[in-house]
Structure 1
Amino acid sequence: MKFICFDEGACSEIMSERVFQSPEFELGKLLVSVLRGTTKKAQLSYRCVVVSAADGTYVLTPGKGLQNYIVIDVEEAASLLKLDDSGLILTLQKTIRFATKYWLGLKPSVNERLISNNKAIVFPYPIGMQTALRASIDRSPDEKRRTSRDANKALLLYKFSDNEGGGPSETPRVTNFRKAWEGRGDAYVLAKKHLEDVAVNRNGSNSLIVTELRDANMPRVVDAGLDGWLKVLTTSQLAFVNSPLIVPHRIEGPAGTGKTLCLVLKALKTVKDAESEGQPHQALFVAHSEPTRRTIENLFAMNDGQDFMSTDFELLSKPQSIKVTTLQELCAHLLKREISESELVDRDAYESKLVQRLYAIEGVERALRDEYESHVPYLSDSFRKFLVETEHWAIAEMLQHEISVQIKGRADQDLSKYKNLERLKIGLPVETEGDKTFAYLMYQKYQAELEAAAQFDTDDVVLSAISQLNTPIWRRRRSKEGFNSIFIDETHLFNVNELSVFHRLTKSELQQPIAYSVDRSQALGDRGWTDLSFEAAFDPSGTIGQSDPTRIRSVFRCSPDIVDLAFSVTSSGATLFTNFHNPLTASVSAFTAEEERKSKKPEYIYFASDDSMLAGAFERADALARDMQVQKADVAVIVFGDELFARCQEFAKSTRKPVEVVKSRGDLEAVTRAKNSGRFVLTAPEFVGGLEFAGVVLVGVDGGRVPPKGSGLEFEPSQNFLNYAAHQRLYVAITRARFRVEILGNKARKASDILQSSIAAGLLEINLSES
């Protein structure tokens, strides 16, 4: 194969259908095989045909006569085929979108350049993203020869490289282009005959000739039902949903890839398969927070799963049942009469951790006041400096993380075990036994605060529940009262203790039918999660066998510009912290050309003061809603920093702005209330996970606030921890948006350091507000 020729109709088909945006779809794979020359004849849609002629491949839509076309010279641009499948589709999509705009006389995008001498350049990857790969295009190939013989507009992709070569003066070789041009007539005849043969075979045979996925755009509503969704899932998503749940199965990917939906569909398919086989099956679905639990229950109900939903843990009323719960509720059930509702810090896991932080601050201040002087000779110089120079709220946040992940998470509250643990790379800077002893002392003060309030934190509840599951009574009852399958959403938000409950709840200790979703970049702080640590949590004995991971790469929620911005944020985190997981390195946006038209390049807007910025936040949210023709509640105002968030709420109240404040992670019910009442959604990055909006306005992403800095935050370990958390919060906030992201900051503070690489790469358009 020396060339590939696409006509204008084929370009329109390929760029408008979601199934051609990613190789994770079957038709996306087919398109890749056409580009690589392994498929010479195929039907991509009901009117788009692939045929072979004149030493090349044509992708045509016969029936409209000769059309505008673009030729890719495969011999001259051989490096194009060295890209992986995702890169190949990305480059093709960017190229044919440029071609379509050029034919229509539209303005080129930021990644496209019209240069002199009838040349053009298309950058498929974001400019500044450590690659200068570009497609060089001739806008008038073989012009003298074609002028009187070809009325259609033609383009030639004649080079793909990371350098400009001869630039505008470069003369492309047109041998293969002439073959493509001269062979078009015969190719259209072949394409038309192919469509006619398919129609005859379809009418005269009972066998299925073509599986048509004409309307395969991923539905934005989530009520397609199991059968409906199975038709539009990507190959990897479909494999996850359909695979038998025998060993632990992980689905992993960045925000917006449909992990939660796939987990719900897998649970539904599991119980429906059991129903069709006449087998009893009790499934447990665990969400991280109470609002998320309610959202997942709605997901089941909207996708024909209401008949399987159970309201209690007994699961005896139905032969096939799904119980959706939170970890707190699950553990309270396991402890039954041993703990009351009032003794829980909070039933919502996320809210409980906010309350725990207040206790942690008390513990830090008491330890520093009462114990520091006697322990200071045994502390390392770096830890002593950290305690003296770091603000107490920052120490408390890091202590809370240390307690959850290390002291209770891995050391079972045992000082000797804690001393033997390797310190977290991003966490409390404890280097010596003396450091760990004082950290443990701060933990004891924290625990004393809990006891004084007669409450138990999440880890206390979980550890107590685990003890209930490690008894002869449970081992005898396990086969009857355990679960046939367990599904866990947002596993990255749980610590080791919390994950250690689940493998004890299956019906047999010899099988772990557990499916769980992961996006490690949404987990605040260094939890040390690796493939091995997840496997150890769900198979501590190591006897079940290796878990089955599914990694999904197609981002359905976010526009390409937003994916690029999120990638830049996570990349800057990756360069700062070697263990920062970046799920976007291999991801691709699955947006169609029509969806891209609704999108706009993310903006950073400077304001003269915080007051004008708060006023501007609601003005920009209102403007975005009008521009995109969506409801006010489809644009979220996300405020960074506790102080600014409180000020924004006061501003909204004093100016009578119609707002619905979201203060629980993933609270879809609050968003629904906002839509029904025509209000703005006002929230913080800690609470916005699990939600989705047409656009977001991020407020206060400027120097000194993201990440927070102050008089006691210059010490490197504390600043690193806050930097780490700030990268993750910003990543979560950005990836809530489908089409638009606007970021507001105080001009005097300048933009956040985290965004400097994005600004340098041209991924953010900088503007100055008029107010």
Structure 2
Amino acid sequence: MKALILTKESVSRLQRFGISDEWFSKFNLPSGNHGLKRVLIEGGLVYIIEDDLQSDEVETVVIRLGGKYSIFADGRPNASMLDRIIAASAAHFFASSQIPTNWKPYSENDVLSFYAGNHHTGKGARLNAKKNPNGSGDLYFFAYTKKTIQFDELGDGNSIYTVAKKHFAEAILTDGTLKEEDDTAGIVLSERLPHGFVQGADLNEWYEKKLTQEQRRFVDLPYDGPVRLRGAAGTGKTLALVIKMLMDSLAFENGNEPFRLCFVVHSQASVDLIQAISESLISQAKLREFTSGGGRIEIRTLYDLANHHLNFPLRELTPVSLDGVEGRHFQYDLIKIALKEGWGSPIFKSRYGGISQELSKRWKSSILDKDPAFIAELMNEFSSVIDAEGIRRGEETGEKYIKRGRRPNWLLALPAEIDRRFVLDVHAIYRKHLFDMNALSIDEMVADFDSFLDSNAWDRERQREGYDAIFVDELHLFTALEKQTLQKLVKRDFDIDGKPDRPSIFMAYDLKQSPRDSFIDYFAADGSILSAKSGLQNSELVQLNQVFRYTPQIAEFLKDLDSAFPAIDIPGEWDAYVGEAELPDAAVPTVERFDDVVKLLDGVFAEAKKLAKKIEGGGRRVAVLCVSEEIFDKYLPTLRGRFKSDAFLVDSREVTSELRHIGRRFVFSMPEYVAGLQFDTVFLVNVNRSEAPKNSGVGRRRQLISNTYLGASRAENRLHISSSDDEGGPSDVLDLAIDRGSLVEK
């Protein structure tokens, strides 16, 4: 075949389909009322267009097939590449969409290039497209390359595009090909959203009939100050935020008022989720209307906003990522390198031979890959304290940090001055590596962004470029410094007495879902999650208690697990779990012991494989979630080898957008990567005593319980927990649940 031709409309509708590798051999459509037809024109041109299309004067996407630079081919991540083509097409046709910056898009004249896949599937390959070929408004994907190459090496390549356009009118006039049952392999109609997220209801139906009393109260709140929306996992916080944003947008539009709203999230996967929820509640066309005239909705990561305003590429600086999750993983690896470099230096090692015994032990364990939690706690120290406050070795800020002995119990234990000096020197090595790469860490980028928002330049632009309101999901994943930037993004208005109005910021969160403690402000006198610097203190609170995404039995287990959380002194925030499940009764969660980790994974994978083959909705309804990062990383080769055809690896939040293509494979991931998703059955593995012994620090204990809480709350109907005796057996954080019967031994 020579080319696949799509219209602006049909490329968007393909988001409704789950597609596997078989589809890319014939590009057939399934039976059903989906409004599309497939036409094969002699010579190898496949058109997927609306079946009622009347004119060939529409914008198209042409994808080259066959030959040296064919876009799709065996052995490539074709389904995920198609998703990227769909996203790039939306960015080309609609001002409301952008190509995610972590795809590393690059444009030169009329040619566009970006990564063909994520770090796991793409391996540096790129998709190359021509914008507006032959003066049209079209997009022509003309080359797949295994690496970045000069555009002039790819040749002109317009001949296939020209032929495809020449036969477009013929395709419109031709009936679609007959759909034999065996010809539709590899494509099925599939929900883009996680199962049951909006339950098939549109915006008006949700607002009038489905919202709870508290959700409705939140949606109806005026723009007169910040509001916190707090609730346990599954209480509908994200959905309520999206409904409020859309209802407010429609109200502005109906009143002919210009508006600018921004939905700020922590990762690109969350951007995709919010867009999908929005498009399920109102039409895609209506959502895009909000970008025309005086109205605008933006859905972005905070880091994308920072990059947009600070223009790092023009200064030849490279942010490590514009995705919070991906950026934190990069920083984790760099801190690990810094620790190893210090350990390998006789001078450094001698200088810090007198650090606390526990700190020395954990330093050694971390470089042997035996204590990843230590690296995570150091990263927490960097983001929450050192980079947040611009603390530097050899400066006054550094000396104050070293001399300050009293520290909150949730931070890494650094009882002696030499311990804190050690941390500052590790941080200096870490920063040197960033400097050598001409790169900025996530925290450095946010610090620069915060400074920009205090500048005279932003003061001049704020009324034009700022927002009428900001909506923030997963506030618990934002650091103190990141929260500090939010109120500065809102337009500044004044009351009749000349006093500035409080910023309209609507924030959803659940502190117990955070795998890190970075949400707490280290320098806040009362340990508040919203310090005076954030400008968000004394915000109104709306509490959600009704749970819609898991059974009463799972809710009862979460209630008992909640009792194991070590207390953190956050006034009015660290309340007991109060979720009230609305789903029908189901089985009580179970816990099972295995002799060792290998037997555990073999047993659980076999059970998950069997369930994924028969459950309604396929493998995307079954997840194996590992709470141990060390074990997850160690056993990835096992997954990629023996279970490659049975399991779908999700090792970043970006990959979650590909779940509709996984067929009968089950999901293997960690709780953090699937936050916001829901599965019928969750196998929560390696909830082991060794992950956080009783004598370990508060931060480490809380991290294990948060990961267990987050993973368990992803289960809708069935939850199975497992541990291995070679790692100490079941963690004691499960003891109360076992004693009270909300978790039964298998």
Residue 764 (str. 1) matches residue 740 (str. 2): no
Partner of 1:518: 509
TM-score normalised by structure 1 residue count? 0.63
Deviates more, 1:616-625 or 1:399-408: 616-625
Equivalent position of 2:306 in the other structure: 331
Q: Output the CA distance in 1 between the equivalents of 2:236 and 2:637.
A: 32
Post-superposition offset of 1:467 = 2.1
Q: For each residue in 1:231-253, what CA deviation from the matched residue of structure 2 results, as whole angstroms up to 9, or x when unmatched?
A: 21111111001111220111011
Q: How does 1:745-760 map to 2 (within 5 A)?
A: 745-747=723-725, 749-760=728-739
Q: What runs of 5+ residues in structure 2 fail to find an aligned partner?
A: 1-194, 494-499
Q: Which residue of the partner structure matches residue 345 of structure 1?
A: 320
Using the TM superposition, give the Cα deviation of residue 450 of structure 1 relative to its aligned residue in structure 2, in angstroms.
1.4
Instruction: Please give the alpha-carbon distance, in whole angstroms, between the structure 1 residues aligned to 2:316 and 2:606.
Output: 43
Shift of the alpha carbon at 1:488?
0.9
Q: 1:232 maps to what in 2? A: 210
1:636 to 608, 612, 623: 623
1:650-705 C-alpha deviation (Å, 9 max, x unpaired): 2453245422211223754222222xx2221111123121111111011222332x
Q: CA deviation at 1:620?
A: 2.4
The aligned residue for residue 418 of structure 1 is 401
Deviation for aligned residue 1:327 = 1.4
* Cα separation, 2, equivalents of 1:255 and 1:621: 23
Match of 1:490 in 2: 474
In the alignment, residue 744 of structure 2 is paired with which amino acid? E
Deviation at residue 478 of structure 1 after TM alignment: 1.0
Could you tell me how far apart the structure 2 residues matched to 1:263 and 1:755 are?
Answer: 33
Alpha-carbon offset, residue 382 of structure 1: 6.5
What one-letter code is carried by the residue in structure 1 that aligns with 2:198? V
Asked if the contact 1:288/1:493 (under 8 Å) is kept, the reply is yes
Mapped partners of 1:467, 1:220: distance in 2: 38
Contact 1:468-1:474 within 8 A present in 2 as well = yes
1:556 and 2:526 correspond: no
Contact 2:527–2:569 (CA under 8 A) maintained in structure 1: no
Q: 2:672 corresponds to which residue?
A: 686
1:147-185 deviation line (CA, Å, top 9, x unaligned): xxxxxxxxxxxxxxxxxxxxxxxxxxxxxxxxxxxxxxx
Q: How many residues align?
A: 527
Letter in 1 for 2:582: A
Contact 1:564 1:763 in 2 (8 A): yes
Alignment partner, residue 567 of structure 1: 559
Distance in 2 between the 1:622 and 1:652 partners? 14
Aligned twin of 1:296: 274
Per-residue CA deviation, residues 584-615 of structure 1 (Å, 9 max, x unaligned), is 53221122xxx22xx21111123344333222
Native 8 Å contact 1:222 1:303 kept in 2: no
**Cα separation, partners in 2 of 1:538 and 1:691, compared to 1, 3 Å:** farther
TM-score w.r.t. structure 2 length?
A: 0.65
Residues 278 and 429 from structure 1, CA distance in 2 versus in 1: closer, same or farther, beyond 3 angstroms?
same
Equivalent position amino acid for 1:618 in 2: F
Equivalent-residue separation in structure 2 for 1:620 and 1:472 (angstroms): 61
On the 8 A contact 2:566/2:698 being kept in 1, the answer is: no
Distance in 2 between the 1:380 and 1:643 partners?
A: 24
What is the CA distance between 1:283 and its match in structure 2?
0.4
C-alpha distance after superposition, 1:623-648 (max 9, x if no partner)? 55578645222011112334532425
- SS of residue paired to 1:573: coil
- Label 1:394 to 1:466 Cα distance change in 2 as closer, same or farther (>3 A): same
The question of 1:670 aligning with 2:654 is answered no
Against the structure 1 CA distance between its residues 339 and 466, is the aligned structure 2 distance closer, same or farther, given a 3 Å change threshold?
A: farther
5 Å-filtered alignment, 1:62-73, equals none
Q: Which residue of 2 aligns with 1:744?
A: 722
Pick from 295, 312, 321 the counterpart of residue 296 of structure 2.
Answer: 321
In structure 2, the partner of 1:533 is 528
Is 2:457 the partner of 1:465?
no
Partner residue, 2:331: 356
CA 1:338–1:740 in structure 2 vs 1: closer, same or farther (change >3 Å)? same
CA distance in structure 1 between the aligned counterparts of 2:487 and 2:373, rounded to whole angstroms? 34
Letter in 1 for 2:549: R
CA contact (8 A) 2:478 2:518 kept: no
CA distance in 2, matches of 1:394, 1:642: 9
Whole-angstrom CA distance in 2 between matches of 1:375 and 1:603: 46
Taking the aligned partners of 1:220 and 1:456, their CA distance within structure 2 comes to: 36
**Residue deviations 1:282-341 (CA, integer Å, cap 9, x gap):** 101111111111111111111116356569xxx974322210011121110011255679
Give the whole-Å Cα distance in 2 for the aligned partners of 1:319 and 1:453: 41
Q: Secondary structure at the match of 2:701?
A: helix
Within 2, Cα distance between the matches of 1:655 and 1:462? Answer: 40
Is the contact between residue 372 and residue 629 of structure 2 (CA under 8 Å) also seen in structure 1?
A: no
Q: Residue in 1 aligned with 2:241?
A: 263
Q: Specify whether residues 667 and 386 from structure 1 end up closer, same or farther in structure 2 by C-alpha distance, changes over 3 A only.
A: closer
Q: Does the aligned pair in 1 maintain the 2:529–2:570 contact within 8 Å?
A: no
Counterparts in 2 of 1:120-139, with a 5 A limit?
none
* Residue identity matched to 2:245: A
Does residue 250 (structure 1) correspond to residue 242 (structure 2)? The answer is no
2:614 maps to 1:614? no
| Superimposed CA distance per residue, residues 110-154 of structure 1 (whole angstroms, 9 cap, x where no aligned partner) | xxxxxxxxxxxxxxxxxxxxxxxxxxxxxxxxxxxxxxxxxxxxx
More divergent stretch after superposition (381-390 vs 610-619)? 381-390
Does 2:681 align with 1:695? yes
Distance apart, 1:559 and its partner CA: 0.8
Alpha-carbon distance between aligned partners in 1 of 2:599 and 2:732, rounded to the nearest angstrom: 22
Q: Is 1:586 equivalent to 2:578 in the alignment?
A: yes
Q: Which has the larger radius of gyration?
A: 1
CA contact (8 A) 1:245 1:513 kept: yes
Unaligned runs of 5+ in 1: 1-217
What are the superposed Cα offsets for residues 66-103 of structure 1, whole Å, 9 maximum, x if unpaired?
xxxxxxxxxxxxxxxxxxxxxxxxxxxxxxxxxxxxxx
Listed as ranges, the matches of 1:151-166 within 5 Å are none
* Alpha-carbon distance change, 247 to 666 in structure 1, aligned in 2, over 3 angstroms: farther
**C-alpha contact 1:222 1:302 (8 A) present in aligned 2:** no
Change (3 A) 1:700 1:347: same
Separation (CA, whole Å) in 2 of partners of 1:765 and 1:296: 36
- Structure 1 residue identity aligned to 2:475: T
> Counterpart of 1:687 in 2: which secondary structure?
helix
Displacement after TM superposition at 1:223 (Å) = 4.6
Contact 1:689–1:736, Cα closer than 8 Å, also in 2: yes
Deviates more, 1:719-728 or 1:407-416: 407-416
Query: Could you tell me how far 1:452 is from its partner in structure 2?
Result: 1.9
Decide whether the 8 Å contact of 2:321 with 2:327 is kept in 1. Answer: yes
Residue 649 (structure 2) aligns with: 661
Q: Percent identity?
A: 25
What is the rounded CA distance, in whole Å, between the counterparts of 2:614 and 2:554 in structure 1?
18
Partner of 1:33: none
Task: Report the alpha carbon displacement of residue 400 of structure 1 after superposing the two structures with TM.
Answer: 0.8
After TM superposition, the structure 1 stretch with the greater mean CA deviation from structure 2, 252-261 or 465-474, is: 465-474
What SS does the corresponding residue of 1:246 show, helix, strand or coil?
Answer: coil
